[in-house]
Amino acid sequence: TDLSLIRNFSIIAHIDHGKSTLADRLIQITGGLSERELKEQVLDNMDIERERGITIKAQTVRLDYTAKDGKTYELNLMDTPGHVDFAYEVSRSLAACEGALLVVDAAQGVEAQTLANVYQSIEHDHEIVPVINKIDLPAADPDKVKLEIEEVIGLDASEAVLTSAKSGIGIEDVLEAIVTKIPPPSGSRDKPLKAMLVDSWYDPYLGVVILVRVLDGALKKGDQIRFMQGGTQHLVDRVGCMRPKIEQLSEIGPGEIGFITAQIKEVEQARVGDTITTVKNGATEALPGYREPQPVVFCGLFPVDAADFEKLRESIGKLRLNDASFSYEMETSAALGFGFRCGFLGLLHLEIIQERLTREYDLDLITTAPSVVYRIQLGHTKTEDAQEILLHNPADYPDPSRIESIEEPWIKATIYTPDEYLGSILKLCQDRRGIQTDLTYVGGRAQVSYELPLNEVVFDFYDRLKSISRGYASFDYEQIGLREGDLVKMSILVNGDPVDALSMIVHRSVAEDRGRHMCERLKELIPRHLFKIPIQAAIGGKVIARETISALRKDVTAKCYGGDITRKKKLLEKQKKGKAKMREYGNVSIPQEAFIAALRMG
């Protein structure tokens, strides 16, 4: 295809502003599909998903559009992952495009997540076309949103396209804007092949499918290719694009986006951002910007029922087939038995995996407190040299007397909120050791930036933010590196025994607070036993907080006066059932909810 007839673009939008609906409309109008056909097609896809038990990841599609200038253009709509933990993946998708549609809800206006993505898009020198969607809503105020786009983002919004993706208004205008505003790609067919690996996913029939953007040269079936970062070689056996159904092509030429398969068994071998070239007469220099996947948040996943361990192992293995960005290794906990220590790109990534294990694989799981990675400098001893370790699990906390320094990861958070909630949000950030770096007002909204230790954010920061702002505040973050901190390990002792799954690394300044809180929570969560149970929080040997659960006096069945035997039976059964969900700790039973609930800051 003539380069001047190609347009590569992505859609930037905050969740729920209408990205998928707009994409569907673009597919419908360019494919000449009726509403019913579109529905059938989408349903088709869902059936496949259900049948295969996986989600078809990329919604990247190729559209043919005959514009008002009479020429037919090839439009490649690049799907980008929707959330902040996948910032790197998003950056690679954006690097594969020359422009973006910025979709903003006409009633909601600009949100934090939109901002972060727009700035990334600007960094990639994209031409950005503002689209104000949902103009059919009674609360729509396109003029106000235009002003917001200009003031907050600094983009000219005078020619913003007004749409209602739902009712099909303005869709042609979007297509015309793509053709006239977004520049065509550049590239040369005569240079050695250079293609970027934009995304990869596992398909049970096709094996690993790779989404590519060709910069120079062309990719053809039968090519012997080489991954310049991964170092492996493969034979290309299929070349195509999605419309959104799979269509086989003879080649993917310079400037084009498409997919290939090359008999690859694991997504791990096809890493996002890698450079693909030919084995013979290949390119000598890889594309800039490649990064290895790096988990930043870790937690333990344990089956509630120990008999489910094998099922958990299998399920995690299956998920991992499609997502090379999380890591796992076996872990044993005195409290929770056999499970896995897993690493994730961020909190939301953790939630997605946890949710999929629970829902798709029907597993009951106990998740231990999420932990970040600490870098610890250890001094030398008589028998050991000084060394540096990376701590993923509080249970592996080294002998404190050997620790010379501990560093923890920090993030820069951007929060965007109606200003009535600002006060409570500032307090939340302050309580979490935050350092305010910026605060600006636009209209009735505030945008505030904080530097925060990731360890203060991993557990419930996001939930708290949502609840104090009644869902109106939006949040986005990026990592800004490690900083030294006065961090200690806090252990929780139940009836004198440390419960490993409840131990955590905390800053010394908040340790007492957290310890007291945990003990109070556990006191509510652990049922009374026939004996007194002390609950203690301790740093090293020093107890910093303590609660006591008093002993239970009477047998519950005593209430039944020995009379009604069926009632008595029922009660005993109920007790037994309750017990199944408990974890035995020495001679104390701890209910499963306690492990998570105790960690919520409240």
Can residue 514 be called a binding residue for ligand GTP (CB under 6 A)? no
Output the smallest distance, CB 467 to ligand GTP, in A. Answer: 20
SS (H, E, C) 318-386: HHHHHCCCCEEEEEEECCCEEEEEEEECCHHHHHHHHHHHHHCCCCCEEECCCEECEEEEECCCCCCCC
Closer CB to ligand GTP, 166 or 466, in the complex = 166
Does 16 count as an annotated binding residue? Answer: yes
- Region from 19-27, 45-53, 202-210, 361-369 binding ligand GTP, contact rule CB under 6 A: 19-27
The Cβ-side half-sphere exposure at 442, using a 13 Å CA radius, reads 20
Closest CA to 454 of 537, 347, 546, 564: 347
Closer CB to ligand GTP, 165 or 411, in the complex = 165
- Region from 131-139, 284-292, 302-310, 549-557 binding ligand GTP, contact rule CB under 6 A: 131-139
Neighbouring CB atoms inside 10 A of 34's CB total 9
Read off the DSSP letter of residue 556: G
Closer CB to ligand GTP, 139 or 307, in the complex = 139
Does 234 count as an annotated binding residue? Answer: no
478: β partners? 412
Q: Which member of 113, 120, 133, 417 binds ligand GTP (CB under 6 A)?
A: 133
As a whole number of angstroms, the distance between CA 147 and CA 156 comes to 9
Output the smallest distance, CB 166 to ligand GTP, in A. Answer: 3
- Region from 13-21, 120-128, 209-217, 423-431 binding ligand GTP, contact rule CB under 6 A: 13-21
Can residue 46 be called a binding residue for ligand GTP (CB under 6 A)? no
Where residue 207 falls (left for φ over 0; alpha for ψ -120 to 50; beta otherwise) is left
Output the smallest distance, CB 66 to ligand GTP, in A. Answer: 24
Q: At what angle do helices 35-52 and 19-31 cross, to 10 degrees?
A: 120
Can residue 165 be called a binding residue for ligand GTP (CB under 6 A)? yes
Distance, C-alpha 134 to centroid of its chain: 27
Closer CB to ligand GTP, 137 or 543, in the complex = 137
The answer to whether 260 touches 297, Cβ cutoff 8 Å, is no
Q: Which amino acid is at 274?
A: D
Helix, strand or coil, per DSSP, at residue 162: strand
Output the smallest distance, CB 26 to ligand GTP, in A. Answer: 12
Closer CB to ligand GTP, 168 or 337, in the complex = 168
Can residue 59 be called a binding residue for ligand GTP (CB under 6 A)? no
Percent composition of the chain: helix, strand, coil (DSSP 3-state, to 5)? 30, 35, 35
As a whole number of angstroms, the distance between CA 199 and CA 210 comes to 6
Q: Which member of 1, 2, 15, 44 binds ligand GTP (CB under 6 A)?
A: 15
Q: Which member of 7, 9, 10, 18 binds ligand GTP (CB under 6 A)?
A: 18
Does 135 count as an annotated binding residue? Answer: yes
As a whole number of angstroms, the distance between CA 319 and CA 306 comes to 20
Closer CB to ligand GTP, 80 or 455, in the complex = 80
8: β partners? 76
As a whole number of angstroms, the distance between CA 440 and CA 280 comes to 55
Q: Which member of 8, 10, 21, 59 binds ligand GTP (CB under 6 A)?
A: 21
As a whole number of angstroms, the distance between CA 194 and CA 233 comes to 14
Output the smallest distance, CB 167 to ligand GTP, in A. Answer: 6
Site size for ligand GTP, by CB under 6 A?
A: 16
Can residue 521 be called a binding residue for ligand GTP (CB under 6 A)? no
Closer CB to ligand GTP, 345 or 395, in the complex = 345
- Region from 132-140, 309-317, 480-488, 498-506 binding ligand GTP, contact rule CB under 6 A: 132-140
Can residue 314 be called a binding residue for ligand GTP (CB under 6 A)? no
Output the smallest distance, CB 470 to ligand GTP, in A. Answer: 19
Helix, strand or coil, per DSSP, at residue 402: helix
- Region from 16-24, 108-116, 289-297, 448-456 binding ligand GTP, contact rule CB under 6 A: 16-24
Can residue 164 be called a binding residue for ligand GTP (CB under 6 A)? yes
The answer to whether 350 touches 357, Cβ cutoff 8 Å, is no
Neighbouring CB atoms inside 10 A of 366's CB total 21
- Region from 54-62, 128-136, 201-209, 330-338 binding ligand GTP, contact rule CB under 6 A: 128-136
Closest CA to 160 of 138, 145, 141, 179: 145
Output the smallest distance, CB 11 to ligand GTP, in A. Answer: 8
Can residue 83 be called a binding residue for ligand GTP (CB under 6 A)? no
Site residues, ligand GTP (CB under 6 A): 13, 15-21, 82, 133-134, 136-137, 164-166
Binding residues: 16-21, 133-136
Binding residues for GTP: 16-21, 133-136
